[in-house]
Amino acid sequence: MTRWGMAIDTDRCTGCGACAVACHAENNIQTVGEEEAGKGRAMHWMRIERYYEGVFPDIKVRFQPVLCQHCAHAPCEPVCPVYATYRTPEGLNAMVYSRCIGTRYCANNCPYTARYFNWFSPEFPAPLERQLNPDVSVRPAGVMEKCTFCVQRIQDVQDVAQTEDRPVRDGEIKTACSQSCPAQAITFGDLDDPASLVAQLGRTERATHLLEDLSTEPSVTYLRGGR
Amino acid sequence: MAGPAASVHEEALLRPLSSFRPKLFVGSLLTGLLVGVLFYSWGYQIVNDIGVAGINRPVFWGFYIVNFVFWIGISHAGTLISAILRVTQAEWRRPVTRCAEAITTFALLIGGLFPLIHLGRPGVFWYMMPIPTERGLWPNFRSPLMWDVLAITTYLTGSVLYLLLPMIPDFAIIRDKAMREHPKSLRTLFFRVAAIGWRGTPQQWFSLEAGIRTMAVVIIPVAISVHTIVSWDFAMAIQPMWHSTIFGPYFVVGAIYSGVAVLMVAMYLLRKGLGIGEYLNDKVFNNLGLMFLAFALLWGYFTFAEHLTVWYGNEHAERAVFDARISGEFAPLFWTMIVVNVLIPLAILPFPKGRKPLGTAIVGLGVLVGMWIERYLIVVGTLSFPRLDFNAGSYTPSWVEIGILVGSVGLFGFLYFGFLQLAPIVSLWEVREGEHIKNRQAPAQQHALHPASEEA
Amino acid sequence: MPDGRLHAVFTTSADARTALNRLGQDGVAHENVEVRSSVPLEHDIIPVGSKLRSRIPWTSIVGATLGGTAFFLMVKLTSEAYPLPTGGMPIVPLPTTGVVTFEGLAIGAILTTVATVLLECGLPGLKKPGPLDHHLALDHVLVSVTCDEGASTAWAVKAIETARD
């Protein structure tokens, strides 16, 4: 079996935001504008949270990229009345836009606040419409969305591997965020393959999970505090 | 027997049904305007998308869910209270049941509207209906929202039938009267249809009463399940101060509390406006006032228990929500709620003089405000403080949300004014039955055998 | 007496009962007697020989069982026909199914109760209103006897005499 997962090395993260921008471009995420963002409606499937440790002047900023954690026991899934979000056999927390009716219950029940809602229809003023990714649908107003682990890229690589009659190689799939990270802090791969890099990183001493005590069993591992 | 004596007062009940009442007309007109506000605001939102509301991330739920919980809570005024009183055979219930059950029906209709208003894509709300389609996909019955759909449908069906069943003999009384007085008028035709051919034979009475008794027994657990399930919309979520086992009973108590409150206000207005103090008399207010007091104490106790647990547990995410309530940005609302929901009721209701119509109505108004605030604090208070502090947010309602709230109050009034003109607001036959029972228990009076009239 | 019925209006249920007893003594079958009132007096005044029966609450219990079973099966079969795992839960978790089944029990009971009431009462009924129905509105008791013309006149005379006693 395959279980897609990610490891994010927060010790490497510089907080540059390249991942968030790449995600926008890859996944046709709308930019809501200053006014809407001021209302708390900015949409970034991948966001960089900043936490400050210590007291000025002895202060340290920690960056924490947060995206959908693709939990094995995702609290968002069972509360949806119309199965718009469920767990795929490959361990993805899938979001089916056409089923979503916009109750927003899933977003309320996500402890990571990783879900984003289309309050209005997306607009891509010229020439932005030219950079839309044809592999990803544009979501209408009233629909929930969130990180998909770049499912379209996974699909692509799997298709190629299938035609070449071979298994998907470790590191062959790169999500937009991991591809664009200059510090190479983001690793993507199959957690069920013990030899994969992401599984190896998950076994190191630095591996932690976000809000682990909620037993949501996230597929994203954070690496921090290394020697 | 109570025949003619009862009829004198009954005139006051039947008047709104048979003639033009300026007060009712003005009331309908004003509330009708508010209904316009409701549908204008909602229409504006449908055309311009859900974003015209003030909700955002992380406060994904706002006024609409608050109003939903509020109106569903109000709906516990009627059917539940009247069922409890019927099952316990409280004699003083007789004048109260009808006006309370009507509150339930209309409040449920309005409450049921809010999830629709709330949806991001209201056009496909039917994805939640358990109907076979070519998609092959049915709703997810693991979702508390689906339980809501089923529970509220059940409760609405039950409440409407529970309101209508005892109305059939009343419609028959009015029909029989009207057939003699204005056999050709449209109103008479309406009552003829509404009475669906009721004759009042012993068998009919026997079956009807058996039916009402059984409905009362069934509807009590249904009502409790409805507000429990509404509370589970929150309690099933692992969010701070939502994920609480006390929420089921806490919400049920709060719902009945707000239900009694609205009943108090409505009864006061009915008594003043229709001059039916003979029915909604001081004894009724006193008894319901005692019930009101009991629920004030219960609600206060639950609120304390809920907050004590959170404070003592001292968990980081929960404390953020708790502190915002007790001393932070939500403190003014929280303490207003404590004043109107606990302090004022406890200052007025324990005293017999406080349990007069005016006193209970004033307390009732306060409790309505307080219970709305309670739901606001639960919905917005928790959502403003997600577990990852970075995402903390705030919420300001837009004019659309305020318009819909105000409009929903108008819609309730509008429906209720309409109801007053279609059915007697006090059950005629149940009050008459009460008179008969009273007379039977009184020392037997001698009646001359006296056939009133005969016809061949 | 165009409809072949004798109607009598009583202001008290005691009088109505006396009249019904006499009708019984006269050997009138209870099917031919109709008693009507605007309040439930059924235990005071029923025609001699008639029996009041209701199938409630037994039909309600049957209805509840059917409703509960239907809802349970709806959840089980539809979830299994299109199984989508969510939140690490089983496809048909008993706790959530229980909640839905409960509502099925309730709606089944409610609908069958009302259906039973309507059926037993013969509602909606299409009988035309009678000439004396307004007395019902005044809280009087109306007794009608179906009979042939001669008998009704005799009874009427007798009843009036009784009233003078």
| pLDDT tens figures, B390-409 | 999 999 999 999 999 999 99
Q: What is the pLDDT of residues B176-191, one digit of tens each?
A: 888 888 888 888 889 9
Please enumerate in sequence order all residues whose Cβ is within 8 A of that of C29, keeping only pairs 6 or more positions apart, or say none. C49
Judged by a CB distance cut-off of 8 A, whether residue B190 touches chain A is no
Fill in the DSSP letter of residue A189.
E
For residue B119, the distance in angstroms to the closest alpha carbon of chain C comes to 21
Q: What is the pLDDT of residues A120-162, one digit of tens each?
A: 999 998 888 899 999 999 999 999 999 999 999 999 999 999 9
Would you kindly state where each structural domain of chain B is located, as residue ranges?
12-128+139-439
B49 part of contact set with chain A, CB < 8 Å: yes
pLDDT bucket at B1, cuts 50 / 70 / 90: very low
Residue B436: band (very low, low, confident or very high) from pLDDT cuts 50, 70, 90: confident
**pLDDT at residue B110 tops 50:** yes
Specify whether domain B12-128+139-439 bears CATH 1.20.1250.20: no
Determine the average pLDDT of the residues in A190-215.
Answer: 93
Q: How far is C27 from chain B (nearest CA, A)?
A: 20
pLDDT greater than 50 at residue B449: no
Q: B167: which 2 tokens?
A: 């109305």
Distance in angstroms (rounded) separating the CA atoms of residues B202 and B199: 9
Taking each helix axis from N to C terminus, what angle separates B63-74 and B97-118, rounded to the nearest 10 degrees?
160
- Omega within 30 of 0 (cis) for the link into B132: no
Amino acid at B337: M
Query: Within A6-118, where are the H helices?
Result: 18-27, 34-38, 105-108
Q: Which of A71, A109, A220 to mutate to test the interface with B (most CBs of B within 10 A)?
A: A109
List CB contacts of A172: < 8 A, sequence separation 6 or more.
A157, A161
Using CA atoms, how far apart are residues A218 and A205, in angstroms rounded to an integer? 17
- Characterize the bridge pairing of strands A4-9 and A186-190: antiparallel
A176: helix, strand or coil = helix
Contacts across the A-C interface (CB distance below 8 Å):
27
C12-18 mean pLDDT: 82
Assess contact for A71 and A219: CB atoms under 8 A: yes
**Residue B362, pLDDT above cutoff 50:** yes
Q: Is the ipTM of this complex over 0.90?
A: yes
If we measure between CA atoms, which residue out of B276, B363, B327 comes closest to residue B13? B276
Residues from chain A contacting residue B58 (CB–CB below 8 Å)? 40, 107, 113
The answer, for C70 touching chain B at a CB cutoff of 8 Å, is: no
C81 touches chain A (CB under 8 A): no
More confident residue, B209 or A225: B209
Contact partners for chain C, using 3 or more CB pairs closer than 8 A, are A, B
pLDDT band at A103 (very low <50, low <70, confident <90, very high): very high
The CATH architecture of the domain made up of A4-223 is 2-Layer Sandwich (3.30)
Tally of helices (H runs) and strands (E runs) in chain C: 5, 3
Interface test with B, best of C38, C82, C128 (most B CBs within 10 A): C38
pLDDT for the residue numbered C21: 84
pLDDT of residue A226: 61
Q: Is the pLDDT of residue B447 over 50?
A: no
Contact A74 C87 (CB under 8 A): yes
In a mutational test of the C interface, the residue from A1, A70, A83 whose CB has the highest number of chain C CBs within 10 Å is: A83
Q: What is the pLDDT of residues A4-46, one digit of tens each?
A: 999 999 999 999 999 999 999 999 999 998 999 999 999 999 9
Q: How close is the nearest chain B Cα to the Cα of A99, in Å?
A: 8
What pLDDT does B217 receive?
92
- The pLDDT, as a whole number, for residue C162 is 64
User: How does strand A116-117 pair with strand C5-10?
Assistant: unpaired
Express each pLDDT in C67-116 by its tens digit: 999 999 999 999 999 999 999 899 999 999 999 999 999 999 999 999 99
Q: What is the pLDDT of residues B125-147, one digit of tens each?
A: 999 998 888 888 999 999 999 99
Residue in chain A nearest C93 by alpha carbon: A78
Shortest CB distance from C89 goes to which of A76, A78, A83? A78
Instruction: Quickly state the pLDDT bin for C151 (edges 50, 70, 90).
Output: low
Per-residue pLDDT of B39-94, as tens digits, reads 999 999 999 999 999 999 999 999 999 999 999 999 988 888 888 888 888 888 88
- Mean pLDDT, range C48-55, rounded to an integer: 82
Tell me, what's the pLDDT at B442?
Answer: 63
Query: Which residue of A lies nearest to B124 if distances are taken between CA atoms?
Result: A101
Q: Cβ distance C71 to C101 under 8 Å? A: yes
Distance from CA of A165 to the nearest CA of B (A): 33
- pLDDT at residue B448 is higher than 50: no
**B382 pLDDT tier (thresholds 50, 70, 90):** very high
Would the CB atoms of C84 and A80 count as touching at under 8 Å? Answer: no
Find chain A residues with C-beta within 8 A of B146's C-beta: 81
Kindly report the average pLDDT of chain A as a whole number: 93
Residue B396, helix vs strand vs coil: coil
Rounded Cα gap, residues C139 and C38, in angstroms: 6
pLDDT above 90: residue A192 = yes
- Residue B195's identity, in one-letter code, is A
Nearest to C110 among B161, B174, B433 (CB): B161
Position A118 confidence tier, pLDDT thresholds 50, 70, 90: very high
Distance CA A151, CA B39 (A): 41
CA distances from B432 to B25, B294, C40 (A): 29, 30, 9
